[in-house]
Every structure is written in C-alpha cells, then in structure tokens.
Amino acid sequence: MLQPLFTPRAAFLSHHHWPETFTTTLAALHRFPHHPATTTTRLWHSYTSRVPPSTGSQISCFCCSRERSFITRFRARDLHNMVETPLMEEKHEWNAQRVRETFLEYFKERGHTFVPSSSVVPLSDPTLLFTNAGMNQYKSIFLGTVDPASDLASLKRATNSQKCIRAGGKHNDLDDVGKDSYHHTFFEMLGNWSFGDYFKKEAIGYSWELLTKVYGLDPRRMYVTYFEGGNGLEPDTEAQNLWRSVGVAEDHILPGDMKDNFWEMGDQGPCGPASEIHYDLREPEGDNYRNAASLVNQDDPEVIEIWNNVFIQYNREPDRSLKPLPNKHIDTGMGFERLVSVLQHKKSNYDTDVFTPLFKKIQEITGARSYRGKFGAEDPDGIDTAYRVVADHVRLLTFSIADGAVPNNVGRGYVVRRVLRRGARYARKYFEVEIGGFFSKIVPCLVEQMGDMFPEIRKKMTDIQEILDEEEISFAKSLDRGEHMFEKYAQKAKLSDSTALKGEDIWRLYDTYGFPVDLTRLMCEERGLTINDKEVEEAQEKAREASKGDRKATAALVKLSVHDLGALELMNDVPKTDDSQKYGRDNITSVIKAIYHDKTFLKSTKEVPEGEQFGVLLDRTNFYAEQGGQEYDTGRLLVDGVAEIRVENVQVYAGYVLHTGYMMYGELNVGNEVICEYDELRRHPIRNNHTGTHILNYALREVLGNDIEQKGSLVAAEKLRFDFSHKVAVSDAELDKIEKLCSSYIHQNSEVYSKDVPLATAREIRGVRAVFGETYPDPVRVVSVGVPVEDLLSDVKNEGWEKVSVEFCGGTHVKQTGEIKELVVLEESGIAKGIRRIVAVTGQEAYEVQRLGSDFEEELARLEKMNYSPEKEAKAKTMGVDLNKLVISALTKASFKDRFAKIQKSILDEQKAAAKADNKRVLDAVTNFFSKENKEKVLVLKVDWSGTVNKAISEAIKNVSGPKSQLKDKTVYLLSANETEGKVVHGCYVSEEFSSKGAVAADWAKQVASVVGGKAGGKGATSIGQGTNADKVDDGVEEARKWIEKFTL
C-alpha cells in the first residue's frame, strides 16, 4: 500500500519508537529530483499544508519508491538548520521482477485471473509468424469463436505478461535493434483485459491509479490521448472526460487520429478507439516542468508511449461499415521494458536490470570493455551496439526455441536462423570471439533471470543450448569465407563508383554462405553501401529458374556404366576417390579429376549444355555416397566467387565417388581445386537417425529376443526406417518398452566409438549385429555405442557385450548419443510375411511430433469436457479427420484413438437420446394442441430449433399420417428455423378431408418454400422441405395458413 508523503511525528512514533532528536537535510531529498518536495519552499508548503507550524510537531517523509526509499523525518522549526539523518533504509527499488509482480498483483486484487503467457509460436493462428501482442491468445473471445469447453469461455477479467516477438512479417523490429534505446525483437507485454465486463471508466481508473499511486509516477510528466473522431465516427469524448475526472491536466489530454488512436484486428472484425499514456523522460528543473504535448507520437526518444487502452466496441463488417458490439471489451498493453526504464530513471531500456545481467555475462565471456550505453557516432568501436544486439537476440533465441521454433529455412524457423546469424556475426566482429558455442554460454544467465516467471526456458535449457551450438557451428563453417567474399564484392562496388552491392552478389552471399539478406544489409551500412531490393529479388528468381526451369526434370540420375568404369581404369590421372574424410565434419579442398556428361568424360563444365545434369570425380571427398541404407549427402563444390556446382546426389561405383549436380554459375575445369562443402544441416539429422537405427536394433533384440534379424533399413534426414524379422505384430506394450529403452540409451549420452577391424576378428565379438547375406569389406568398420572398440577386442567372448549396441557399419554417426535427443516411433507395420517395419524420427523431428501430440491432447481434453451440443459434434468431426492425418508417436496415436472412440460413442448415445427427446417434443406439441382444441382441423406451428429437429418434424408427420394415428383426420404443417446457420426445415400432412377438396401436400410445401427458400418434395399426403431464408420463417408460417384457408371455405 502506498504511504502518505508526510505524516505527523506523533502518528509516526505511535508505530516506530525513534529518538526525537533526528532531523534531516535537504541534501537527502536532492536524491529524488522527481519528488514534489525537492526544495525548501515545496518541503515547507507540503509540511504547513498538513501540520500547523505552531505545533512544532515533527513530520515523516516516505519517499516514493522510484528510488531507494529513505524514511526521513523533519523538525519543522529547524528547517533552516537541517542535518542528514537517514532513519532506516529499505530496498524499495523498482527492479524488473518487482515491476512485473506489482502489475500482476494489482489486477489480481481487482478480480482479474492470471493467465500464463501463451507460446511465442502461435499454435492455431496461421496468420501470425510469432505472437506479437498480449491479445493474440484472446482473439477467439473477441471474434466470438471461443471453444465453449475451454477455460477462456468463462473468462471475464484477465491479466498477464505476454512473451512477444517482432522480427519478420508485418511487425519487424530486427533492423532497428541495437541502434536505439527501445527497440527489441523479444519483449514482454503487460496487460489487463475485460471480456464483456468492465469498460472505459474502470480501465482508465485502473491505469491511472496504478501508474500514479502504486508506481508513484509524476502525473505532471504524463500525457494521455483519445480518439478525435474521423471516417464517420464521433470523437471519444467519454474517454476524454474520464481522463479529466481522474485528474489529468487539460493540456495533457490530447486528440489522436485513426492511425494512432483507433485499433483494428484486421480488414474486418472487432475494433475500437484507443487511448494511450505517454511519459516525458526528461527530468524537470526544479519547479519547471516543460510541456511536451507537441512531442507525443512524434518518435521523440524522450517522450514515449508506455500504455495503450483499447476499447473494443465495434465490429468492422465486410462492407467496411461499423456496427456496435453487443459485448464490449477492454484490451490493454504496456511495454514491460519501457515501464522498467521509467521507474528506474533510465532513458534507455538497455540501462535497466532487464539487460544489465546479460551485459555482465557477455563481458565475462568475451573479456570486452564494459557497456557504456552509447549510440551512433558516440559508439565508434561498435561495442555498445554489439552488447545490445547480442543481449536482445539471445532473449529471442531462447524463448523461440523453448516454444518450438527451431532454426531452419522456412517461415519462423528462418527468422530464428537470421537472428542467430546476425547476432553471431556481431559477436565475432565486435567481441572478437569464436562462434560455435557463444550464445549457449549466455543462456544460463537469462534462465536465472527469467526462469521463475517462464519455467519453460528452465525446463528446456539444455536443449536450447544444444540447438544454438549446432546452428552456430554450421554457420561458423561459412562465415569466414562469406565475409571474405563480401569484402571482395564491396571493393568491386567501390572501384566501380557504385553505392550499392549487386543483387546477384547479395543473393550469392545468402545462397552459398548462408548470409541472410538483412545481415548483408547491415554489413553494407557499415561500409556506406546500400542494397537494391528489386535486384535481389530478380537474382533470387534467376537462381530458382536455374535450379528448375531448364533442367530436364525427368532426366535419369547420371550413372557410371561398366564401360565407363573400364575407361576410368585406363586413365592413370583419375585415381579411385579417397573418401576417408566422409566421417569428418570440416570442409576440405580437392582437385577435379574428371567431368562426366552424356556418357562422355569432359575437360570443362562449359562443354555441358546449360541446365543439364553432370557428374564430377575428385581426388578426395568428404561427401558421403549412398550406401548401407544411408542416403547421400548434398552440398556444393565451389571456388569462392568464381564458380559453384550444386551437388544433389552422390553415388560410388567401384571406388569412384561421383558427385552429380548442376552448374549454378561460372565454369570449372579438370585440374581446378575446389572447396568440398557438404550440407551439414542435412548431414546432422542423418547422423542422428543412423545412430538411432543402431540403438533401435539393439532395443528390438532386447525386447523381442535374439532371433530378430535386420532385413533392410533407410537412414534419411527426415526419418529412419528399419525392417526386421518377426512373426507377429509388435504389441503396444512391447513398443512402449522398445521406445523407453531407446530413450534411456540416448539420455545416457554414451560416446560412439568406431574402428576398422579385421573381418574375422570382428565376427568373433559377442553380440555384434550384421545384416545376413551382406558382403563386408576386410577390414570392416565396427561401431560401438558406449564401449570402446578396443575393449570389445580385448575380450571378444564377454557376455556383457550383448548389452551393448555393436554393429558392422560404414555410415556416419553422432559423437555422443545425447545429440540424438529423442527417438519416437511413428509406425509399426507388416510389409511381408514374417517381416515387420518400424518408422521413427529423432532429434528436432522427434520434438516436433511430441509437440504436435501435446497440442492435440489439449484439444482432445477440451472435447472430452464439452457437454453434448452441435458444436461438440462439429468439433469431433474435424478432430477425427485431423487425428487420422496426424504424424505423431504410434503409441500416442493409439491412445488418442481409444479416447476418441469413447467420445464418438458418447456423442452417438447423446444423439440418439436427443433425437428421441426431440421426436417426443415435436409430436407432443401436435397432440397437445389437438387435445385442447379437438374441434380444430388444421395446425400450422413453428417449433423451436434443435440439432435433430429435421428428423423430429419428419417423424411427427409420419406419426400423424400413419395408419394407426388418432390424428389422421387432422391437417398439419410444422416449421423450424435457425437464423445463425441460415437453415429452415418444414413438413406437412394433408388429411383426406382436405385432399378431397383439392389440397395437395406437395403444392402446399412448394408455396411455403417460395417464401423460406430451398426445395420441398414428397408424395401423396405428406411433403418435407428445407429452406435457407431463416429470417423469413414467420412469413412462411403465415403463408402456410393462408394457403390452407382456401380449402376451409
């Protein structure tokens, strides 16, 4: 609770027994320039306004908590001779954690439910790359599409601190990060919401009270805006008057236009006026407060928006008109980092304790000078900018990866990759550190700082670090060469008096060296160069065409025939390829020994028609050629900036490794030295899957028995496939044991060993696995998981080796099993008599299927909780289709199918019960009418709508017209409509009395259909119809009555 500024000494001493002689000097108050009592005059006035001077009482000052709180007291008659005497010191600094907690507690005390932050990866909103505002998770409430079974359906008031990312897409702050004091790619948005509960009065009152009374901000430095009207809308004078009523000065209440003060979710949907709160960061000079009204919403760094209240009261219709909403909502957002900077008296968000712990960690890791908070020309060495970039980027990387956005080349995954590479280049250039494990060292500091509020980053810290290291290592391979090529291109531009880098050079930096375009743009800015985006787009399109347009899509893979191999044997200068480097992880240089196209060996690629596939033989290679079930590597052979071959397939023929692909640019000749660069981002998951296959093979033997034999395998980047002998299907219980055994082996983080061993000796190793009928080289490569091969060879008959994964294998593997992360079985099936097949995924693919399973389970749990309704029926239909298509753990999917079958049965039971009740309801309405009005011969009745009313009307007509019906002499027309769905159902029966007068049921129904739309049909005395004009159903009732009345005369 906020303490009063001054209290009489007597009141103070009633709680605190302090000596009476304590006084204080004005110097103590000078520490708080924002405080109203910072001069003798103001201090005296504050005092005399509350305590008559004649009393000689002492008063106590509780300084507001924007600084360290010194509780001090004054003897009024001794103001002319004051001495500093702090009575006690309390830590009331507004540290970041306290700022956040205070906000959340304030609103929780006022009936708001704390809703944890949603993921930064929107799980069910394809329109968003990342969650970029606090309201994202409440969109379904605003749109009226909220699942009635979800927790959101009953929510009236909410508060939280939402994780947000603005990097990529419409909202992109990436290019500005590091250059100014307030842009971030990752930030928190504090917010409070009302869903059809309170509205403007309470929202404005809450925000003003929290800022001025709780946080203690000076109202003389605050400005508020309201919607001035426009586009046919009246000014929001209600908000204007409410700001007056809470005490905002008239000249601090400012009008704003549609751009700044009217919020819309999209082209159509909920929208409404907004009211912002701005704060002037410039400290006043004594009593002199400047009027900063003219600087509001002018991008002035000293006058910043801190809070926005959105009053959602309209709906934007498809025709762009606005209609008032039946339920009005409040959506507010306050930038957490900005609020902290204001409360800590900092003009830069980066000077607060949101970032300073990260800066200290960066300095510790890099040994760089300390952060000084300089910008632009005042930061000539770029170190301060680099601090800001790295600290900002590690926040985005940590939270995005924790929520499932892993680096790749698509969508949000590419945004994550761009951010990491931008940050890595800053770290290398300005901090002069080697990248490959840089960001992962900062992550624990961030987890310590924010892990209590956001436990997901603590839970996934190790995974986050591993992913960051993998991505950095991959980029490190090409960073040096890419920077070298950039310098070459920049120099070329300078020599040609150009101020812009060529589009084709920018695209090549991306395509060959992995430099995102915005990273190249940044490097250009550092060199005083620009980028022509149109040229870059043209270069990108040209590259796409080169990779697909002129190629012979149906052309068979280039292969070496037996005749080609014979010719090679006669060529003394073309040796068999040394592929011993295929197990390494570095690029190598090699010499082109032969170029092969159209059954001919060539000397130069210029002899190959443009866009056609060809093969290259090298003296040595680090590419893995397809063999042993493992897919080939892809990558490139290149001379930096001169020529590049895109390698799309690698096969080995009698010791000659043929690299097949296309010329991307330039030309190469036999004898040229090239860099061999396989695609590590493809090789890495292949390694995971190959070692995972060995572990799976071991687990199958452990669970199903030693008679299991491998019958085939596929090791690809996206999955592994393993065929084995087994007479019956693997049960769910067995599959569960197999998966758990694999996970246990993986999580032990065992080292993977390999060694070439004489074949005869290798065959003696107890428990070794090999493919029956396979011909192995001598010596053969033995791969062991967890036990050095030398130990195996020292005691080949040791029974303990049967508890170890040991295989003959020539493939690529991880160094330690922990790199695999997880193994998830997707499918177990039979492919032939006695042959079973398991398909599984590892690494990031495994995490992704687990995430998909978790997301679906949440939906399934909500469906289970829903009461029976048409909405539940519709949702069940959609989820049934989704479940069949879902690629997740086979065990999880089986569990989901069991649960879903129970849901379907319950829905079917409910449908039967509802249909039965509905049939009775409609028939009772008819029979009850004629029981009371037994002389009436005709009934035209509109009955209430239900999901089964169509069948109920049909059954009622059938009952009335049936041979045993006691109402067979009555004539009946029944109608029902659902305006929301635009549906009408109707049916009729014409008794013999009326039919004898010429009334025909089909004609009657057609007449009604002419009003309610749709069609009607039937034969004899009955007719059933369906219409679309639900809003015309009452007219249909009237039309039915008019028509039948003709036959009552």
The reply, when asked if residue 694 is annotated as ligand binding, is: yes
CA–CA dist 623, 495 (Å, integer): 38
Q: How far is CA 542 from the centre of its chain?
A: 32
Q: What's the DSSP call for residue 185?
A: S
**Does residue 690 have a known ligand-binding role?**
yes
Is 747 annotated as ligand-binding?
no
Query: d(Cα 15, Cα 2) in Å, to the nearest integer?
Result: 17
Q: Is 742 annotated as a binding residue?
A: no
> Which ranges of 4-92 would DSSP assign to H, the alpha helix?
9-13, 26-29, 40-48
Q: Give the CB-side neighbour count of residue 853, counting CA atoms within 13 A.
A: 20
- Name the nearest CA neighbour of 509 among 494, 528, 492: 492
Other residues' Cβ atoms within 10 Å of the Cβ of residue 425: 22
Residue with tokens 């201090």: 43
How far from chain centre, in Å, is Cα 70? 45
Alpha carbon distances (Å) from 751 to 310, 460, 706: 57, 22, 24
Alpha carbon distance 353, 806 (integer Å)? 52
Q: What is the DSSP annotation of 831-880?
A: EETTEEEEEEEEHHHHHHHHHHHHHHHHHHHHHHHSPSSHHHHHHHHHHH
Backbone φ and ψ for 520, nearest 5 degrees, come out as -65, -40
Residue labelled with tokens 């990108």? 540
Where does 344-437 have alpha helices with state H? 356-366, 383-402, 411-430
Helix (H, G, I), strand (E, B) or coil at 972: strand
Q: Which residue in 641, 605, 645 sits closest to 621, CA to CA?
A: 645
Write out the two tokens for 629. 């079930």
Structure tokens, 371? 């952060």
* Cβ neighbours for 157, distance < 8 A, ≥ 6 positions apart: 107, 110, 111, 112, 113, 192, 193, 194, 195, 197, 198
CB 841 within 8 A of CB 824: yes
Residue 833's Cβ-count burial label (10 Å; 0-12, 13-18, 19+) is: exposed
Rounded Cα–Cα distance for residues 576 and 133 (Å): 60
Q: Which positions ≥6 away from 733 have C-beta within 8 Å?
A: none
Radius of gyration, alpha carbons of the chain: 38
Q: How long, in residues, is the chain?
A: 1049
Q: What does the alpha-carbon distance between residue 839 and residue 825 come to, in Å, rounded to a whole number?
A: 6
Q: What is the 8-class DSSP label of residue 300? A: -
Assess contact for 732 and 891: CB atoms under 8 A. yes
Q: Determine the 3-state secondary structure of 444 from DSSP.
A: helix
Cα–Cα distance between 54 and 690 in angstroms, integer? 91
Full DSSP string of 105-141: HHHHTTTPEE-PPPPSS-SS-TT-SS--SGGGGGHHH
Written as one string, the DSSP assignment of 867-890 is: PSSHHHHHHHHHHHHHHHH----H
**937 and 960 in contact (C-beta within 8 Å)?**
no
Of 131, 103, 170, 135, nearest in space to 338 by CA: 103
Residue 636 CB neighbours (<10 A)? 21
52 CB neighbour count, 10 Å cutoff: 11
Q: Which residues pair with 618 in a beta bridge?
A: 592
Rounded distance, CA 399 to CA 453, Å?
Answer: 12
Tokens of 193: 């919401």
CA distance 410 to 414: 5
Binding residues, as ranges, are 690, 694, 809, 813
Q: Which residues are annotated as a binding site for Zn(2+)?
A: 690, 694, 809, 813
